[in-house]
C-alpha cells in the first residue's frame, strides 16, 4: 500500500482579522505552506478548500481562493461538514492522491467569521443542530454541549472545576503559540468566576469564533520522498456520523461518531490509543475535550475529568493534548480548524514546535468534530 505524506504546512494568525478578506487569509497560510514544502505553486495538481460558506458575503469561496492564489486552471472544490470541514478536505485530498488522480494537493482551510454580527452567528450555529424538531425550541451551540456536560456530571461525577482545568491547560499552551487568538495563561479561580453562558458553562468553557486560515500540502509517496526530508505520513483516516438530532442519540455523555472514527483510523494506521504521543482534539467546549479523551480511548469512559485533573494530557503526561492552545485559546475559524490541527501535528512530529514541543513525538492524531458530533473525523499521523 502506497502512503500519502504531508510535505508542507502553513498557518496564519487567528483572531479578529479585519485586515484581510477570506482569500487573503488563505494566501497567508498557503504562502507559508508552499515555502515550507520548498515547492512552487506550479508543482501543485489541485487544491481542496474547506470553509463553511454561509459566514461569508462572498459565496463559493473556493473560486476566489483559487483565483487569488493564482492557481487557475487547476481543479478545486470545497468540502463542508460544519466545524470538521477542514478534516473532510484532508480526507478528500488523501483520496485524490491514493486514487492516482493527483500527486500533490494543497488543502486550504479558511474562514472569516467576523463579517457577521454575533447574533447572526449564534442563530446560524444553532441551525447546525436539527432544525425541524430541535432548533425551533431555541437551541444554541453552548446549550447543546451544556447538556452533554450536565449528563456527564450526573453520570460520572465530573465537576465543573475539572472542565475548566481543560481551559487552564489550553490557555497555558496557547500562551506559547504565536498564531493563537488568546496568548495568555488563565487561573482556575478566575475561570470559575467568569460570566455564566449555559449552565454549567461559563465564558471560559467556550471557545471563541475567529478569522483565520491554515494549509497543508499532501503528496503521494514517491513525490513526498523526492520533495521532502521530513515527511509526516497520514497513515490513518477515519470518519463516522451520528444522528443530527440529539434526541436520537443513545446517550449524551460521548460522541458515538468519535468512537467509530477513532477505531477506523487506529485500525488503518495499525496503532493503539496508547501509541499516540500528541493529539489535537475538538475542544469547542471544555466538556468536549473530556469526552474526547474517553471516546478516543486515552482513558475509560467516565474517567475524563480525572484525566485532566491529574494532568495526564499535559506534556509529560500520557498524551499531550491541544498543546497549541486548542480551539479554546487558539480560536476556532470553523473551516480552518481541522487543517490547523493537522498543521500542529506536522510541526510536532517534525520536532519544530518550539516552546510547546512534545518530546519524542512520533505518532500524532487529530480529532475534529462537526456540529454536535453528527460527524467526526480522526486522522493518525506518523513520522518514520
CB of 295 to a second copy, least distance (A): 13
Question: Catalytic residue positions?
Answer: 83, 332
* Residue 337 near a second copy by CB under 8 A: no
d(CA 63, CA 89): 15
Q: Of the candidates 205, 29, 13, 184, which has an alpha carbon nearest to the alpha carbon of residue 106?
A: 29
Q: Residues 140, 241, 303, 362: which binds a second copy (CB under 8 A)?
A: 241
Q: What's the grid cell of residue 42?
A: 506550479
Which residue stretches of 177-331 are H helix? 188-192, 221-227, 256-269, 286-295, 304-309, 326-330
Smaller CB distance to a second copy: residue 243 or 362? 243
Stretch that binds a second copy, among 58-66, 159-167, 309-317, 339-347 (CB under 8 A): 58-66
Stretch that binds a second copy, among 12-20, 96-104, 187-195, 343-351 (CB under 8 A): 96-104
* Residue 371 near a second copy by CB under 8 A: yes
Q: Of the candidates 5, 205, 215, which has an alpha carbon nearest to the alpha carbon of residue 97?
A: 5
Q: What string marks each residue from 243 to 282 as x (binds a second copy by CB under 8 A) or -?
A: xxx--x-------xx--x----------------------
CB of 142 to a second copy, least distance (A): 16
d(CA 40, CA 99): 23
* Residue 99 near a second copy by CB under 8 A: yes
Q: Residues 95, 121, 175, 271: which binds a second copy (CB under 8 A)?
A: 95
d(CA 105, CA 360): 28
Smaller CB distance to a second copy: residue 325 or 370? 370
Smaller CB distance to a second copy: residue 158 or 376? 376
Stretch that binds a second copy, among 127-135, 148-156, 191-199, 277-285 (CB under 8 A): 127-135
Q: In this structure, what are the phi and psi dihedrals at residue 225, rounded to the nearest 5 degrees?
A: -65, -35
CB of 302 to a second copy, least distance (A): 22
Binding-site size for a second copy (CB under 8 A) equals: 59
Smaller CB distance to a second copy: residue 76 or 162? 76
Q: What string marks each residue from 1 to 40 as x (binds a second copy by CB under 8 A) or -?
A: --------------------x-------------------
CB of 63 to a second copy, least distance (A): 4
Stretch that binds a second copy, among 7-15, 52-60, 293-301, 345-353 (CB under 8 A): 52-60
Residues 163-192 that bind a second copy (CB under 8 A): none
d(CA 286, CA 283): 6
Contact 124, 90 (CB under 8 A): no
* Residue 54 near a second copy by CB under 8 A: yes
For 226, residues 6+ apart whose C-beta sits below 8 A from its C-beta are none
For 128, residues 6+ apart whose C-beta sits below 8 A from its C-beta are 82, 141, 370, 371, 372
Contact 226, 14 (CB under 8 A): no
* Residue 81 near a second copy by CB under 8 A: yes
Please, what sign has the CA dihedral across residues 15, 21, 25, 31? negative
For 13, residues 6+ apart whose C-beta sits below 8 A from its C-beta are 28, 178, 179, 212
Residues in the chain: 384
Q: What is the DSSP letter of 357?
A: P
Residues 59-78 that bind a second copy (CB under 8 A): 59-60, 62-64, 66-67, 71-78
Smaller CB distance to a second copy: residue 126 or 200? 126
Q: What's the grid cell of residue 322?
A: 491541544
Smaller CB distance to a second copy: residue 44 or 166? 44
d(CA 152, CA 122): 24
Question: Which residues would be at the binding site for a second copy (CB under 8 A)?
Answer: 21, 46, 52-54, 57-60, 62-64, 66-67, 71-82, 88, 91-92, 94-101, 124, 127-128, 130-132, 237, 239-245, 248, 256-257, 260, 370-371, 374-375
Amino acid at each position: 500500500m502506497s502512503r500519502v505524506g504531508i510535505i508542507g504546512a502553513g498557518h496564519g494568525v487567528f483572531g479578529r482579522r479585519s485586515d484581510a478578506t477570506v482569500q487573503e487569509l488563505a494566501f497567508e497560510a498557503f504562502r507559508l505552506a508552499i515555502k515550507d514544502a520548498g515547492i512552487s505553486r506550479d508543482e501543485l495538481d489541485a487544491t481542496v478548500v474547506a470553509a463553511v460558506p454561509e459566514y461569508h458575503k462572498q459565496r463559493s469561496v473556493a473560486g476566489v481562493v483559487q483565483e487569488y492564489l493564482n492557481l487557475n486552471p487547476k481543479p478545486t472544490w470545497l468540502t463542508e461538514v460544519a466545524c470538521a470541514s477542514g478534516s473532510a478536505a484532508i480526507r478528500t485530498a488523501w483520496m485524490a492522491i491514493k486514487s492516482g488522480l493527483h500527486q500533490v494537493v494543497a488543502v486550504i482551510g479558511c474562514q472569516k467569521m467576523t463579517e457577521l454580527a454575533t447574533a447572526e452567528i449564534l442563530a446560524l450555529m444553532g441551525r447546525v443542530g436539527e432544525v425541524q424538531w430541535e432548533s425551533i425550541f431555541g437551541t444554541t451551540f453552548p446549550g447543546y454541549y451544556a447538556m452533554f456536560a450536565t449528563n456527564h456530571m450526573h453520570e460520572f461525577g465530573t465537576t465543573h472545576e475539572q472542565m475548566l482545568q481543560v481551559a487552564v491547560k489550553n490557555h497555558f499552551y496557547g500562551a506559547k503559540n504565536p498564531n493563537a487568538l488568546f496568548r495568555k495563561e488563565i487561573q482556575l479561580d478566575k475561570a470559575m468566576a467568569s460570566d455564566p453562558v449555559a449552565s454549567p458553562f461559563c465564558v471560559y468553557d467556550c471557545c471563541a469564533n475567529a478569522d483565520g486560515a491554515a494549509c497543508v500540502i499532501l503528496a503521494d509517496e514517491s513525490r513526498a520522498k523526492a520533495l521532502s526530508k521530513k515527511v509526516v505520513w497520514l497513515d490513518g483516516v477515519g470518519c463516522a456520523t451520528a444522528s443530527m438530532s440529539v434526541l436520537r442519540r443513545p446517550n449524551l455523555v460521548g460522541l458515538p461518531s468519535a468512537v467509530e472514527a477513532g477505531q477506523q483510523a487506529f485500525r488503518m494506521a495499525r496503532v493503539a490509543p496508547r501509541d499516540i504521543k500528541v493529539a489535537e482534539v475538538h475542544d469547542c467546549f471544555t466538556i468536549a475535550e473530556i469526552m474526547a479523551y474517553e471516546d478516543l480511548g486515552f482513558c475509560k469512559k467516565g474517567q475524563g475529568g480525572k484525566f485532566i485533573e491529574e494532568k495526564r494530557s499535559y506534556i509529560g503526561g500520557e498524551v499531550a493534548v491541544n498543546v497549541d492552545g486548542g480551539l479554546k485559546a487558539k480560536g476556532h475559524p470553523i473551516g480552518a480548524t481541522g487543517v490547523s490541527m493537522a498543521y500542529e501535528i506536522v510541526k510536532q512530529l517534525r520536532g519544530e514546535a518550539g516552546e510547546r514541543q512534545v518530546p519524542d513525538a512520533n505518532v500524532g492524531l487529530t480529532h475534529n468534530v462537526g456540529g454536535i458530533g453528527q460527524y467526526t473525523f480522526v486522522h493518525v499521523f506518523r513520522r518514520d
